[in-house]
Amino acid sequence: MTESPFVRDLLARYTIWQPIEDVGLLPGEILLSFDDGPNQVADTTSRLLDALKTENVPAAFCVCGKCVREAPHLVRRMQAEGHLLVNHGNQHLPLTLFSEAALQQEIQGCDAALAGAVQDPGFCASAFRPACGWWTPAVKTIVDRLNRRVLPITDFGNDTSITRHNYATWVDRTRRAAQRDRGGIFVLHDRRLRFWGESHYDVTNPDTSAYRGWVPEAISTLIRQCRSDGFIFLDPATWIERLATAR
């Protein structure tokens, strides 16, 4: 981050961006997270899982309840292949982040979808990532009440505006952020949910940023480049355990 201390303070207070020293990573560690999926268009999420398997990298999948119900088999595969399932709300509605009751429903709705997908009625995601990355007073209250962790990020990669034509810019930016901070928690969207005009854009048009079919190639490239820089990829389950022990 190159912003002023004032802007950094605002970001840390009201968004999931947190400075690298506050996110529970050791120098040289990277944690990868994928938001808004699963996504069956262009087999994006299944090819992403293939890529992570090839590279032997466990990641955090911040999935949305309504998308989980569309593709529960992909959620079962995430779990079976050692990835962390993170609750990203049921409907991905940012305004619910301002109401404790509505937010609690959002989280519990996504948990119910996850429990159905993994066929475990008692399933409860240990981490939550709020829609749009907003960290409101209601998020703080409900996350504490439900005993969850918020999964932060250390760099806003702005990948939702990236297309298959320019994803190398996202890879370069993220690699530079890792070098600058000696690691990081990064986000890439394997699906792109919006809270308005969802029906007015074409997720299958490969020339728009709504199309995410390039994500598997981008992440393979980033992983190889960061490994050549000496980074290791932290298992999100280890991250959760480390934070629980530090409590």
Taking a C-beta distance cutoff of 8 angstroms, is the pair 57, 227 a contact? no
Task: With CB under 5 A as the rule, give the number of residues binding Zn ion.
Answer: 2
29 binds Zn ion (CB under 5 A): no
Q: Does residue 181 belong to the site contacting Zn ion (CB under 5 A)?
A: no
Smallest distance, Zn ion to C-beta of residue 190, A: 11
Residue type, position 88, single letter: H
| Candidate list 35, 155, 159, 181; residue touching Zn ion; CB under 5 A | 35
| Binding segment toward Zn ion, per CB under 5 A, in 16-24, 35-43, 112-120, 231-239 | 35-43
Q: Which stretch binds Zn ion (CB under 5 A): 36-44, 95-103, 141-149, 162-170?
A: 36-44
- Looking at beta carbons only, is 29 or 111 nearer to Zn ion? 111
Minimal distance, residue 87 CB to Zn ion, in Å: 11
End-to-end CA distance of the chain: 27
Q: Please identify, among the stretches 34-42, 78-86, 118-126, 201-209, the one whose residues bind Zn ion according to the rule CB under 5 A.
A: 34-42
Taking contact as CB under 5 A, which single stretch among the options 16-24, 27-35, 95-103, 167-175 is the one that binds Zn ion?
Answer: 27-35
- Whether 29 and 65 have beta carbons less than 8 Å apart is answered as no
- For Zn ion, give the closer residue by CB, 35 or 106: 35
Which amino acid, one-letter code, is at 98?
A: F
Does position 36 interact with Zn ion (CB under 5 A)? The reply is yes
Q: Residues in the site for Zn ion, rule: CB under 5 A? A: 35-36
